[in-house]
């Protein structure tokens, strides 16, 4: 018998074909084959919001060939990705190929390994229409919102702009944070720190002034700080209390899509798009020497923390063999997923836990190796024993003041021998305190005052924005990367190093949306809509009802806004750079690759150029200025402003000396 298996990507098709062998033809659909045509609304509003799908432009011949192959096969298996999008692609394929939707021809592979493919083929099922409907509802909802809002914003502000259900909320979070930063007023405060030794020991340790007369002390200016220092003159410093304790630090769960993107951003400075590309390649399969062509990680679009017992057992065996039995907890650790997630497949984990990153490093690209190392270490660490720490808190009395010192030492390293999660802010390093007893008299080495100022809230990074979207229930793991890409491409947000900074355009668009389309950018409303789409996926609500409840009031809002708002004039920021072609002062514009200079005389004068940032150093080759430059991928480097006549470049910032 001839059997046709349809997957999404050519790499996966090649690898699955290798596992299935003779009698199977494996073909890649290259993603969606049918969609809502972009040239029109493609949703029949009068007919219960029925979508009007068409074969994607350029795929007509592929669909014809696919129909021929399907007609000539004894059986057709639909093996697209194991998520809502993949379920929808299988449904579109079944519809185009005239397959019976009651046939059990849908197979999924959580991992592209021999066992993963074998298990998937052995357990075919019907297409899950509820999952398909959830994807359809999301697609139709996004089309209706985008089709009405994007032209409206383009007409009122500037051509080429867009708005959307998820992107507008993500932009609002960034803009709201920018407004908080602009409104923030720094407050002065002072700290007083002391350095002590405990004779006869020579070890110096620090303590911070914390209370006066039993109340938390707040020093607002130098005069108050100097008063405290004066009052402490001649004081003796005596240990008032020593509190010892212990604490347990547990490992973090294996990755889901959002946490993988966050950790790769924090540790590797990878943008979400770059992370998902490497993860997709690792899932679909790579040539790994003696292992053959194999998928090294499980499916990378998931929000489930579940792992299979087979994977747990393999991980436990590796831990015991490599680190010893004391690194394996006596009771297995199970992580609980959020209640509203799709638990169709596992967390992101290595498909073969015993295959270490170093074993496959020679066969992987740099990005693939880094992502596999993260996934592998995180998974193995999640199975390991907790880290045990001994804590100590010391209170030191001086007159009516108390200084406090805290520290800890690691009693048993546990999972931290392999992996610790990255943090958005620096954590305090391990601080070991000397052995002290109540009543010990300490020797003061130094008393230091320092002026400080309260800091505004930090701007979002990709990692912290993804975390916020996930916590607030906005969008799905697969939407985070394209959402961030879109708001940057539209010029609403700039990426400055790791920070996402709202532009004036982004702030104007968000202010407009907040005033006239408050529901679209309301976090609670958008999260509630996401919950309704989850209910569609669970079969608890009909997708037509979700759209029908949303659409009429939305259209009325758009109509009212069109009557109320005139065109909004965007004023460009004027620079001090003179246009060498026409003499006007050039203005700052925002493009796909960030800020640039353009002549305000457009279209009569089309002069535009990059903003040159000089480093203040001179080229060692020709003596001209060294300027900051960026590669196509956005990586910063330094080069001579005399390029191409002078080819000096450097990844490191040059110093003003040879």
Calculate Rg over the CA atoms of the chain: 30
- Max CA-CA distance within the chain? 97
User: Dihedral of the CA atoms 594, 466, 157, 593 (nearest 10)?
Assistant: 10
Residue 14 class from Cβ within 10 Å (0-12 exposed, 13-18 middle, 19+ buried)?
A: middle
Other CB atoms within a 10 A radius of the CB of residue 588 amount to: 16
Interatomic CA distance for residues 592 and 586, integer angstroms: 19
Identify the three-state secondary structure at position 130: helix
Q: Please enumerate, as own/partner, the contacts of 262-265 that have beta carbons within 8 Å and a separation of 24 or more.
A: 262/462, 262/463, 262/464, 262/466, 262/467, 263/374, 263/378, 263/421, 263/422, 263/463, 264/370, 264/371, 264/374, 265/461, 265/462, 265/463, 265/466, 265/498
Which residues pair with residue 28 across a beta bridge?
Answer: 7
Q: Confirm if 30 and 8 have CB atoms less than 8 A apart.
A: yes
Residue 600 has φ and ψ, to the nearest 5°, of -70, -5
Q: Write the CB contacts of 418 (distance below 8 Å, at least 6 apart in sequence).
A: 323, 377, 380, 381, 384
Q: 406: which 2 tokens?
A: 């805290």
Question: Is 237 an annotated catalytic residue?
Answer: no
Interatomic CA distance for residues 467 and 531, integer angstroms: 18
Active-site position among 19, 24, 237, 299: 299
Active site residues: 299
């Amino acid at each position: 018998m001839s059997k046709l298996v349809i997957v999404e990507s050519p790499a996966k098709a090649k690898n699955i074909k290798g596992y299935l062998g003779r009698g199977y033809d494996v073909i890649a659909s290259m993603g969606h084959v049918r969609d809502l045509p972009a040239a029109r609304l493609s949703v029949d509003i009068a007919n219960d919001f029925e979508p009007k799908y068409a074969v994607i432009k350029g795929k007509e011949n592929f669909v014809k060939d696919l129909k021929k192959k399907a007609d000539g096969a004894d059986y057709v298996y639909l093996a697209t990705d194991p998520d809502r999008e993949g379920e929808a692609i299988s449904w579109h394929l079944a519809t185009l190929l005239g397959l019976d939707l009651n046939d059990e021809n849908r197979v999924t592979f959580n991992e592209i390994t021999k066992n993963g493919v074998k298990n998937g083929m052995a357990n075919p099922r019907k297409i899950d229409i509820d999952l398909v409907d959830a994807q359809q509802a999301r697609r139709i909802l996004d089309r209706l919102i985008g089709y009405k809002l994007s032209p409206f914003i383009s007409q009122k502000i500037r051509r080429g702009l867009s708005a959307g259900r998820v992107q507008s909320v993500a932009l609002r979070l960034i803009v709201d944070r920018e407004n908080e930063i602009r409104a923030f007023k720094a407050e002065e405060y002072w700290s007083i720190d002391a350095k002590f030794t405990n004779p006869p020991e020579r070890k110096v340790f620090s303590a911070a002034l914390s209370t006066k007369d039993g109340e938390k002390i707040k020093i607002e200016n130098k005069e108050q700080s100097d008063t405290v220092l004066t009052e402490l003159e001649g004081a003796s410093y005596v240990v008032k209390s020593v509190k010892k304790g212990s604490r347990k630090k547990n490992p973090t769960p294996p990755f889901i899509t959002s946490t993988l993107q966050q950790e790769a951003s924090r540790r590797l400075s990878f943008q979400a798009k770059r992370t998902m590309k490497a993860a997709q390649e690792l899932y679909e399969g790579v040539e790994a020497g003696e292992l053959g062509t194999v998928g090294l990680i499980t499916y990378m679009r998931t929000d489930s923390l579940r792992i299979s017992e087979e994977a747990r057992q393999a991980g436990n065996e590796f831990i015991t063999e490599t680190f010893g039995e004391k690194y394996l907890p006596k009771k297995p650790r199970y992580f609980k997923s959020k209640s509203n997630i799709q638990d169709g497949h596992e967390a992101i984990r290595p498909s073969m836990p015993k295959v270490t990153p170093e074993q496959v490093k020679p066969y992987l690209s740099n990005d693939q190796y880094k992502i596999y190392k993260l996934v592998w270490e995180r998974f193995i660490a999640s199975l390991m024993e907790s880290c045990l720490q001994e804590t100590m808190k010391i209170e030191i009395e001086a007159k009516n003041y108390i200084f406090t010192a805290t520290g800890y030492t690691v009693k048993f390293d546990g999972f931290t021998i392999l992996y610790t999660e990255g943090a958005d802010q620096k954590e305090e390093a391990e601080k070991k305190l000397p052995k002290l007893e109540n009543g010990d008299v300490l020797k003061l080495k130094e008393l230091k005052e320092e002026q400080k100022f309260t800091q505004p809230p930090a701007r979002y990074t990709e990692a912290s924005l993804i975390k916020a979207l996930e916590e607030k229930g906005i969008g799905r793991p697969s939407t985070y990367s394209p959402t961030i890409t879109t708001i940057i491409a539209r010029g609403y947000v700039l990426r400055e190093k790791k920070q996402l900074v709202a532009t004036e355009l982004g702030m104007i668009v968000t202010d407009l949306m907040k005033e006239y389309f408050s529901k679209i950018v309301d976090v609670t409303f958008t999260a509630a809509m996401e919950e309704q789409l989850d209910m569609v996926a669970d079969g608890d609500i009909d997708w037509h009802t979700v759209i029908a409840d949303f659409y009429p009031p939305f259209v009325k809002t758009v109509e009212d806004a069109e009557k109320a708002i005139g065109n909004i004039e965007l004023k460009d920021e004027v620079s001090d750079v003179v246009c060498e072609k026409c003499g006007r002062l050039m203005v700052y514009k925002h493009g796909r690759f960030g800020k640039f200079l353009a002549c305000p005389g457009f279209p009569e004068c089309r002069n535009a150029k990059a903003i040159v940032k000089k480093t203040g150093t001179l080229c060692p080759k020709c003596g001209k200025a060294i300027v900051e430059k960026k590669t196509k991928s956005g990586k910063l480097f330094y080069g001579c402003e005399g390029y191409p006549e002078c080819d000096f470049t450097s990844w490191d910032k040059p110093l003003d000396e040879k």
